[in-house]
A and B are shown apart, each in its own frame.
Chain A
C-alpha cells in the first residue's frame, strides 16, 4: 500500500473513532458541569468549573439513589452468575462427554433457549413469580429476578462450556476413570478445576449480561428500592424533571464497572462474542 493511501486510511479511522467516542465523552463532560453550564454552555468543551456535586447527587439523592442500586446489583448478580454458570456446566458435561440417546434433542433445546427472545414471555414469568408470592416482598423481588436470570442464563453458559469441555483431552478422562473415578468425581475434582479459565470467561460474560439487564427487574420488582443499576438508570431517564447533570453522572457511573473490566479483559470479551457465531 502506498504511503499516501495509508495516511488517508489513518485519517478515516481517526475520524470514525472521534465519532464513536463523542457521545460518551460529552456525557462525561456534562457530568462534571454545574447545572448552569449544562443549560447554556458549549457541550463539546470540557467543564470550565468542574464539580463533583452531580456524582454525589446521583449516588445519594436520586430516587432510588445509585448507591442502593449498586448494592442491589451485587445482591442480584453474584448468585445469578454463580447459579447459571454452575448449572450450565452441569448441562455441558454430558453433552460434551457422553454418547446418550436424546443428546441431540437436549442440544437443540439449549440452542433454542439461548436464542429465544425472552422479552416476549414477560407475562408468564411475571405470573409465575406472582403465583409464588415473590411480587409482594422485597426478598421475593430479589429472588424472582435472580431465579429468572439463572433459568434464562443456563442455555448460554451450557453452550459455551460444552464447546470448551470438548477440547479437554479424552485420554485424561480415560485415565481418571480407569483409576476408579466416577463421572461425578471426574467432573467435580478434575474437569471443573481444570476449566477455571473458561469458567472465569463465561462468568464475565454472564456478569455483563445480567448487569446490563433492566427488563426483569422492571417487570418482576414491585419496589423501586430493589432496582439494580440498569433499571434505576432507565427509570431516572424516563422521570420528568431529573437534572441533566445527575443523569449524565449516573450514566457514567453505570459505564464505569464495564469500562474497567473491558480495559483489563478486552480479549476475553471478544472471544466470548465470537463463540456464539462460530
Chain B
C-alpha cells in the first residue's frame, strides 16, 4: 500500500485535494479485498462444496456409482417419498398464504394506532424467537391427545368436541382428513390471504373475478385438499404451531411497510370519502406490493427448511406408523441415520430443485434493490 506523500503535513490547497483524489483511486483493491475475504470465502466455498458433493453422492450407493438408480427408486418404488415431497409443497402453499395473510390482518388491526401497540406487538412477536424444539414442546402440550389436553379441554367445555376427534382425541397423530375445527379456523384465513395478495398485485381486478378467484383458490382448492385427505389433521396441526411462531415476521414487515405510505396519500383518500375497505384496496395494498413479494419468497424458502418442528412434534417418522406429516428434510435425516448416504443425497437433490426457484428470485430481488 502506497503512503500518501503529504501525510501529516498541513495545507488544503488545490494540489493537495487533487492528490487526495488520486490517492482514493487505489492501485490494487483486489489484493486488499482478497486478504479480507480469504477465510470467509473458504466458508462459502465449503457450502458450495457440500452442494456439489450432494449431487455427486446422489449417483452412488455404498460408495459405488449407480447412475440414476437412487432417483428411479425414489420415484417408482418408495412409498414415503411422494408423500414427503407433497407435504413440503403443501407446507409451501400454507407458508405463502396463512402466515402472510394472518400477519397482514394483525398489522392492519395494529396500524389503527391503539394504545399499548408495542406490548401487543411484543406478545405476538415473541414466539418467532423460539426454537422449533421449544415450539414443539409447547404445542405438544396444547394438542395433548387426552381429555385434559389444552385444546381438547377448551373444545369440550365449549361443547364443540364434535368438531374434533371426540373418541380418539388425537391431533398431531391423526393421519385422517382435517377435522371440522381445522376447516373453520383455516379456510377463512386462506380466503382473506388470497384476496389481499391478489388485490396487492392486481388492484384493478374486477369485483366478479375477485370473488371467483378467491372462492376458487382461497376456499375451493383448500377445501378439496382437506376433503380428499390429501393433507391430514396431523400436518395441519403442525402447521398451526408453525404459524403461531411465523406470523409475527410478516406482521412486523407489514407494519413497517404501512408506516412508509405517505401521509398525504392517506389524507387524500379520506378527503375523497373512501371507506376503509376502499382505502385498503386502492391505497394500502398496492403500496405493500414489495413487502408481499419478499414475504412470499422468504416463506417459500422457509418451507423447505421444515424439520425441527415436525421432528419434535411427530417424531423422526413424521407421525409414528403413518408418516402423515413427513417432510423431505426428515426423510434425509432418517436415511442418513441408517447410513444410506447416496439415497439421502438424492432426496437432498430433490429438495434443492424445490428450493432453487425461490432462492434465485430472492437473490434477483435483492440485487435489483441494490442497483436502485
Are A26 and B150 interface neighbours, CB within 8 A? yes
Q: A117 with B127: in contact, given A91-B36, A122-B333 (CB under 8 Å)? A: no
Q: Which of B44-52, B219-227, B280-288 contacts the other chain?
A: B44-52
Q: Mark A213-228, 1 if CB is under 8 A from B, else 0.
A: 1110011000000000
Are A43 and B149 interface neighbours, CB within 8 A? yes
Are A251 and B40 interface neighbours, CB within 8 A? no
Give chain B residues whose Cβ lies under 8 Å from the Cβ of A274. Answer: 252-253, 256
Q: Roughly how many angstroms separate A155 CA and B119 CA in the complex, as a whole number?
A: 32
Instruction: Kindly identify which residue among A107, A120, A154 contacts B43, using a CB–CB cutoff of 8 Å.
Output: A154
CB closest chain-A residue, reference B25: A99
Are A127 and B142 interface neighbours, CB within 8 A? no
Q: Mark A227-264, 1 if CB is under 8 A from B, else 0.
A: 00011011011100000100110110011001100100
A212 is an interface residue with CB less than 8 A from chain B: yes
Q: Which of A8-16, A47-55, A193-201 contacts the other chain?
A: A8-16
Q: Roughly how many angstroms separate A180 CA and B7 CA in the complex, as a whole number?
A: 6
Give chain A residues whose Cβ lies under 8 Å from the Cβ of B39. Answer: 87, 90
Size of the A side of the interface (Cβ < 8 Å), in residues, is 105
Q: Roughly how many angstroms separate A43 CA and B149 CA in the complex, as a whole number?
A: 7
21 CB < 8 A contacts A-B: A10-B114, A16-B120, A20-B124, A23-B139, A39-B148, A43-B148, A44-B153, A88-B40, A91-B37, A94-B36, A103-B33, A108-B367, A109-B44, A117-B301, A120-B329, A123-B336, A158-B40, A174-B20, A180-B7, A234-B312, A237-B140
Are B148 and A151 interface neighbours, CB within 8 A? no
Q: Roughly how many angstroms separate A219 CA and B124 CA in the complex, as a whole number?
A: 32
Are A20 and B8 interface neighbours, CB within 8 A? no
Q: Roughly how many angstroms separate A115 CA and B298 CA in the complex, as a whole number?
A: 8
Q: A120 with B244: in contact, given A154-B40, A208-B129 (CB under 8 Å)? A: no
Instruction: Kindly identify which residue among A21, A150, A214 contacts B308, using a CB–CB cutoff of 8 Å.
Output: A214
Give chain B residues whose Cβ lies under 8 Å from the Cβ of A3. Answer: none
Q: Which of A74-82, A137-145, A265-273 contacts the other chain?
A: A265-273
Q: A23 with B123: in contact, given A116-B355, A150-B43, A233-B312 (CB under 8 Å)? A: no
Give chain A residues whose Cβ lies under 8 Å from the Cβ of B4. Answer: 177-180
Q: Which of A35-84 contact B (CB under 8 A)?
A: 39-44
Q: Roughly how many angstroms separate A10 CA and B120 CA in the complex, as a whole number?
A: 10
Q: Roughly how many angstroms separate A250 CA and B369 CA in the complex, as a whole number?
A: 44
Are B359 and A115 interface neighbours, CB within 8 A? yes
Give chain B's interface secondary structure class. Answer: helix
Q: Mark A1-37, 1 if CB is under 8 A from B, else 0.
A: 1000010011011001100111110110010000000
Size of the B side of the interface (Cβ < 8 Å), in residues, is 104
Are A100 and B30 interface neighbours, CB within 8 A? yes
Give chain B residues whose Cβ lies under 8 Å from the Cβ of A180. Answer: 3-4, 7-8
Q: Which of B173-181, B201-209, B228-236, B340-348 contacts the other chain?
A: B340-348
Are B137 and A233 interface neighbours, CB within 8 A? yes
Are A119 and B307 interface neighbours, CB within 8 A? yes
Instruction: Kindly identify which residue among B40, B148, B329 contacts A119, using a CB–CB cutoff of 8 Å.
Output: B329
Give chain A residues whose Cβ lies under 8 Å from the Cβ of B252. Answer: 270, 273-274
Which interface residue of B20, B118, B329 has the most chain A CB atoms within 10 A? B329
Q: Mark B108-136, 1 if CB is under 8 A from A, else 0.
A: 01101010001011111111111111101
B363 is an interface residue with CB less than 8 A from chain A: yes
Q: Roughly how many angstroms separate A27 CA and B44 CA in the complex, as a whole number?
A: 40
Q: Roughly how many angstroms separate A23 CA and B156 CA in the complex, as a whole number?
A: 17
Q: A219 with B114: in contact, given A125-B50, A234-B136, A269-B129 (CB under 8 Å)? A: no
B32 is an interface residue with CB less than 8 A from chain A: yes
B69 is an interface residue with CB less than 8 A from chain A: no
B155 is an interface residue with CB less than 8 A from chain A: no
CB closest chain-B residue, reference A258: B129
Are B20 and A178 interface neighbours, CB within 8 A? yes
Are B23 and A42 interface neighbours, CB within 8 A? no
Q: Mark A158-196, 1 if CB is under 8 A from B, else 0.
A: 100000000000000010011110111001000000000
Q: Roughly how many angstroms separate A224 CA and B117 CA in the complex, as a whole number?
A: 43
B53 is an interface residue with CB less than 8 A from chain A: yes
B106 is an interface residue with CB less than 8 A from chain A: yes
B305 is an interface residue with CB less than 8 A from chain A: yes
Give chain B residues whose Cβ lies under 8 Å from the Cβ of A258. Answer: 126, 129-130
Give chain B residues whose Cβ lies under 8 Å from the Cβ of A94. Answer: 29, 32-33, 36-37
Are A262 and B122 interface neighbours, CB within 8 A? yes
Give chain B residues whose Cβ lies under 8 Å from the Cβ of A250. Answer: 137
Instruction: Kindly identify which residue among B148, B149, B291 contacts A41, using a CB–CB cutoff of 8 Å.
Output: B148
Are B131 and A9 interface neighbours, CB within 8 A? no
B316 is an interface residue with CB less than 8 A from chain A: yes
